[in-house]
Amino acid sequence: MKVKMILPALTEAESPFWRPIKYSLFPPLGLATLASYLSDEDEIELIDQHVEILNIDDTPDLVVIQVYITNAYRSYKIADSYRKKGVYVILGGLHVTSLPDEAAAHADSIFIGPGEETFPTFLKDFKNREPKKVYNSSIRTLKSIPPIRRDLIKRNRYLVPNSIVVTRGCPHHCDFCYKDAFYEGGKSFYTQAVDDALAEIERLPGRHLYFLDDHLLGNAKFATELFEGMKGMNRVFQGAGTVDSVLRGNLIEKAVEAGLRSLFVGFETFSDANLKQSNKGQNLKRDYSQAVKRLHSLGIMINGSFVFGLDDDDKDVFKRTVDWGIENSITTSTYHVLTPYPGTRLYKDMEKQDRILSRNWDLYDTRNVVYKTTNLSAKELEDGYNWSYKEFYKWSNIFESSIKHDSNKHKLKHFFYSGGWKKFEPLWNFLIKTKNLNNTLPFLESVLSKVENKKSKTKQIDLNRHIL
Ligand code: SF4
């Protein structure tokens, strides 16, 4: 049968402020994972509307659409138009799981939660001509999942074609995060078998990997064995972890030995009241600067994530956060306006308090204010958010932040990584247009090469004594 798998473009990807590079980073791994359950006889087309034109004049046997909150309306339009022609359409993803009734009006079948168990079940039902309206995930395992259909991915359209996910979910329960809603009704944190994860890594060409796991260091036993297995593979990789996992034990050193060179860290807020409000206990009473020092002493660059608009935030939060990032030489910062995604505890709380101002999902892009704020006005929050990005990425601040590192190599890496990411838009656009993005990989790999310096090693020994 003919199967068309579609990732519709996020609404913000078409805004005048769209930075095309931001939406050309990673291929649609979720859809490529589901594609692996289709048979060799099936004719599969995988379309990522962020990097290619979507034509909906065709009539495949089955259309599979991945729905996020800010592509929901676009997804529904695409779904409606296929269904009018009699094509069977299924919808799944975070937004479908949060608002199944809304999605069901535009689909023949919907998928709630992860699809590794439900999609193959659906395929059997579909072939037997008895598909159900709703597929609800309950069994959560990554045992014996088939290899991802990476052959369907147009590698040259992405800066990071080698993205990989070896776990699902996260051990924590932050109120603003989709995780608990998506994994409700079953395990919310589980891993692949280490050997399967290593086999998937082996299949990826080149050196660079980007682990898109919510918390790569979340299961210490799994991560230890994974990093052990990766030693000698000559990989460099990026991933995400918490402040707590950086400060605890020596897992982070093992990650570095395996090739970790940059870490996405959810600092989110400096306020204890905000952390408590968000149920982000893993950050409470953790010394953020100590975590930063530890990462830097290991030569790891940091992408810090920060949320603005929690109830304890005041007008100074923007300057405080940007200054801290520069002072602590955070390589890149990702700022978000607090966004109460439907299905999350934050949304439910705000709904109870009558604080949700808009249910236009296109605005739920972490740039717009969609709820009643407390200490800040909505305008102050949006202005502060925009100011923070501009301020943090000023050349003078990138320079100031870079030169604080101990080694010259780390200074240069920081300068090129941060400047390259935010300041070379015309070059990125040219590479995207000419479909040459992944030719920049050797450059990225060299920016992610290992930093060693005696001073940092001495510091690390001191830091270990302090922490352990
Ligand atoms: S640590 Fe990150 S992934 Fe885990 S629940 Fe919190 S926000 Fe979500």
pLDDT tens digits, 2-15: 999 999 998 877 76
Tens digits of residue pLDDT in 246-257: 999 999 999 999
- For 294-328, what is each residue's pLDDT tens digit? 999 999 999 999 999 999 999 999 999 999 999 99
302 Cα: distance to centroid of ligand 1 (angstroms): 17
Read off the pTM. Answer: 0.91
Q: What is the pLDDT of residue 413?
A: 86
Cα–Cα distance between 205 and 187 in angstroms, integer?
Answer: 32
Residue of 317, 228, 334, 234 whose CA lies nearest to 271: 317
Same domain, 392 and 292: yes
CB crowding 314-341: b at 16 or more within 10 Å, else e: eeebbeebbebbbebbbbbbebbbbbbb
CA of 241 to the centre of ligand 1 (A): 9
Confidence at residue 81, expressed as pLDDT on a 0 to 100 scale: 98
Ramachandran bin of 360, using left for φ above 0, alpha for ψ from -120 to 50, beta for the remaining angles:
beta
pLDDT value of residue 17:
63
Shared domain for 285 and 171, answered yes or no, is: yes
Name the residue with higher pLDDT: 450 or 391. Answer: 391
Q: Is residue 265 part of a domain?
A: yes
The mean pLDDT value for 198-215 works out to 95
Residue 283 has pLDDT above 60, yes or no: yes
Answer yes or no: is 141 within a domain: no
Q: What is the pLDDT of residues 398-435, one digit of tens each?
A: 999 999 998 888 888 888 888 877 777 777 777 777 77
* pLDDT, the chain, mean: 91
Note whether residue 147 is domain-resident: no
Give the CATH number for residue 41.
Answer: 3.40.50.280
Contact (CB, 8 A) for 266 and 289: no
Mean pLDDT of 86-110: 98
Q: Is residue 412 a part of any domain in this protein?
A: yes
Atom of ligand 1 nearest to the CA of 282: 1
Residue with tokens 């020596």: 250
- C-alpha neighbours within 13 Å on the C-beta side of residue 468: 10
State which of 165, 168, 173, 174 you would mutate to test the pocket of ligand 1, scoring each by most atoms of that ligand within 8 A of its C-beta.
174
What are 336-384's pLDDT values in tens digits? Answer: 999 999 999 999 999 999 999 999 999 999 999 999 999 999 999 999 9
Q: Is the CB of 174 under 6 A from ligand 1?
A: yes
Containing domain of residue 361, as a range?
159-461
Mean pLDDT of 109-126: 96
Judgement on whether residues 74 and 174 belong to the same structural domain of the protein = no
177 C-alpha to ligand 1 centroid (Å): 6
Amino acid at 345: R
Give mean pLDDT, residues 105-124: 96
* Count of structural domains, the chain: 2
Q: Are residues 316 and 284 in the same domain?
A: yes
Give the domain CATH number at 217. Answer: 3.20.20.70
Share of the chain above pLDDT 90, in %: 79
Same domain, 218 and 366: yes
* pLDDT tens-digit series, residues 182-201: 999 899 999 999 999 999 99
Tokens 């970790």 appear where?
Answer: 260
Is residue 48 in a domain?
yes
Sheet with 208-211: list strands edge to edge: 163-164, 208-211, 236-241, 260-268, 301-308, 332-337
DSSP summary character for residue 108:
S
Asked if the model's pLDDT at residue 65 lies above 50, the reply is yes
The whole-number average pLDDT for the span 61-88 is: 97
Task: Give the position, in ligand 1's atom list, of the atom nearest the Cα of 178.
Answer: 8
